[in-house]
């Protein structure tokens, strides 16, 4: 198993390199540059030339890419930001990623806590009111966009009822332990409530639908019939034999889902004014802030690769037929 993981990690290096290369080329292929304009104004040619020189943008593409890779490999340096002129991409990511990851982890946990039982009971009580209710809620959760849900929750639970703060995140990057663990204060939880519910409902809906469909399929398998025919109770059959196997599709989406959600979700961060990574990801493209585009794509790619390795490991644990050695 360990050699498998090491092999996979080594293999991911060329993949990551390719991702960086392609992103670099795509970003450069976009018309317009980072220093063409200020706000609504275009900048005089001489100014653009002076600024581009400072950031080596006057050099050939090959040289630019070479310099980027050199700094990245030797120093782990993701370069300066073009739109936040006194900051580096390393600073920006180390400040925003932990916040995004906190929202992401809490939302996935909430999604699992609500979604999995809903899906499982829906499947076990198929075509009863339990099933209809859980399906209805799942469809609702999937179809109400966060852009609608978030302001609604703010209006209801903050402005009208005053239960939770309307916006912002309960801790900032300076207060985190080891740079990423938040202190579990009441302030933290009260600020987390609305954004996590917003994001968690969609995730729980996904989980509910997947686990329901998968469990329905699993309980029709031969080995379940065998288990039942040898006299096992319903509970034992489901818990020991069906559930574990039926979770494979859920785990499959967990990898990409985590990568996407830990690196920031633009809408929720935007509406709640949370200083996470999602905002940078989106605005950097508009700003042609190449180092942020590359840096955030790289972080996303690393999460995706790791997520997929984690999924493969969990496959082996869940399905005894899968072995990597």
Partner 1 sequence: MQKKRISLLMLFLVMTLVMAACAAPMAAPGAADTSSDGAAAVASDPVTLDINLGTEPPSLDPSLGTDTTSISVINETFLGLTELDPDTQKAGPELAKDWSISDDGLTYTFNLRTDVPWVQVKDGEVVETGMMVTAGDVAYGLKRTCNAETASDYAYVLYIVAGCEAANTGEGSVDDVAVNAVDDATLEITLNYPASFFEQIASMWIMRPMPQSVIEEYGDAWTEPENIVTNGPFALSEWIHGDSLQMIRNPFWYGWEEMGDVVGNIEVINGVMIEEVSTAFALYENNEIDTSGVPLEMMDLALAGEYGDEFVIAPSNCTYYYGFITQKPEVSDPRVRRALSMAVDRQTLADDILKGGQIPANTFTNPLNFGSPAGDPDIAPWAMTEAQGGTGYAAAVEMAKALMEEAGYPGGAGLSLTLAHNVSESHATIAQAIQAMWQEAFPDIEVVIETQEWGVYLDSLDHDAPLEGKPDVYRLGWCQDYPHANNWIHEVFNPTQGANVPMLSMDDPIVGDLVKQFNDDTIAAQTASEDEQLALYKDAEKLFVDDIAAIIPIYYYTTVAVTKPWVTRLYSDDKYYYRWSVDEAAKEAAR
Nearer to partner 1, 133 or 275 (CB): 275
Pairing type for strands 37-38 and 41-42 reads antiparallel
Helix (H) or strand (E) holding 42: strand 41-42
Which residues, 6 or more positions from 116, have their beta carbon under 8 angstroms from its beta carbon? 207, 208, 211, 250
Nearer to partner 1, 75 or 229 (CB): 75
Q: Is 159 in the site for partner 1 (CB under 8 A)?
A: yes
Nearer to partner 1, 131 or 193 (CB): 193
CB of 233 to partner 1, least distance (A): 21
What backbone phi and psi angles, to 5 degrees, belong to 76? 65, 30
Q: Site residues for partner 1, window 165-224 (CB under 8 A)?
A: 165-169, 172-181
Q: Is 40 in the site for partner 1 (CB under 8 A)?
A: yes
Nearer to partner 1, 65 or 84 (CB): 84
Q: Is 273 in the site for partner 1 (CB under 8 A)?
A: yes
Q: Is 93 in the site for partner 1 (CB under 8 A)?
A: yes
CA–CA separation, 143 and 153 (whole Å): 16
Q: Which residue has the tokens 């300066």?
A: 80
Long-range contacts of 214-217 (CB under 8 A, 24+ apart): 214/246, 214/247, 214/248, 214/249, 214/250, 215/119, 215/120, 215/123, 215/124, 215/242, 215/243, 215/246, 216/123, 216/126, 217/246
**Collapsing DSSP states into helix, strand and coil, what is residue 41?**
strand
Nearer to partner 1, 72 or 133 (CB): 72
Q: Is 310 in the site for partner 1 (CB under 8 A)?
A: yes
Piece of 10-18, 96-104, 130-138, 200-208 that binds partner 1 (CB under 8 A):
96-104
CB of 139 to partner 1, least distance (A): 26
Among 252, 306, 316, 319, binds partner 1 (CB under 8 A): 306
Q: Is 235 in the site for partner 1 (CB under 8 A)?
A: no
Total binding residues toward partner 1, as defined by CB under 8 A: 80
Output the six-digit token pair for 168.
């912002």
């Amino acid at each position: 198993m360990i050699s498998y993981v090491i092999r996979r990690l080594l293999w991911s290096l060329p993949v990551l390199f390719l991702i960086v290369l392609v992103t670099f080329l795509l970003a450069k292929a976009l018309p317009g540059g980072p220093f063409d304009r200020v706000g609504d104004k275009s900048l005089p040619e001489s100014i653009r030339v002076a600024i581009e020189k400072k950031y080596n943008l006057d050099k050939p593409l090959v040289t630019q890419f070479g310099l980027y890779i050199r700094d990245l490999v030797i120093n782990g340096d993701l370069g300066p930001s073009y739109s936040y002129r006194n900051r580096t991409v390393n600073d920006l990511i180390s400040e925003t990623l932990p916040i995004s990851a906190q929202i992401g982890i809490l939302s996935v946990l909430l999604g699992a806590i609500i979604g999995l039982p809903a899906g499982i009971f829906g499947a076990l009580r198929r075509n009863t009111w339990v099933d209809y209710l859980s399906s209805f809620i799942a469809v609702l959760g999937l179809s109400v966009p966060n852009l609608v849900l978030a302001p609604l929750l703010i209006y209801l639970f903050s402005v009208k009822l005053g239960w939770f703060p309307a916006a912002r995140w309960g801790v900032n990057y300076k207060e985190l332990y080891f740079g990423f663990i938040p202190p579990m204060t009441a302030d933290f939880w009260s600020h987390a409530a609305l954004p996590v519910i917003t994001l968690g409902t969609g995730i729980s809906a996904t989980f509910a639908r997947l686990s329901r469909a998968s469990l329905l399929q699993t309980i029709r398998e031969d080995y379940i019939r065998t288990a039942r025919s040898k006299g096992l109770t319903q509970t034992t059959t489901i818990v020991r034999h069906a559930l574990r196997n039926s979770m494979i599709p859920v785990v499959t989406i967990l990898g990409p889902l985590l990568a996407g959600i830990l690196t920031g979700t633009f809408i929720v961060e935007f509406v709640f004014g949370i200083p996470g990574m999602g905002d940078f990801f989106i605005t950097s493209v508009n700003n042609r802030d190449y180092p942020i585009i590359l840096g955030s794509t790289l972080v996303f790619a690393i999460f995706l690769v790791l997520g997929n390795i984690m999924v493969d490991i969990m496959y082996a644990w869940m399905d005894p037929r899968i072995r990597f050695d």
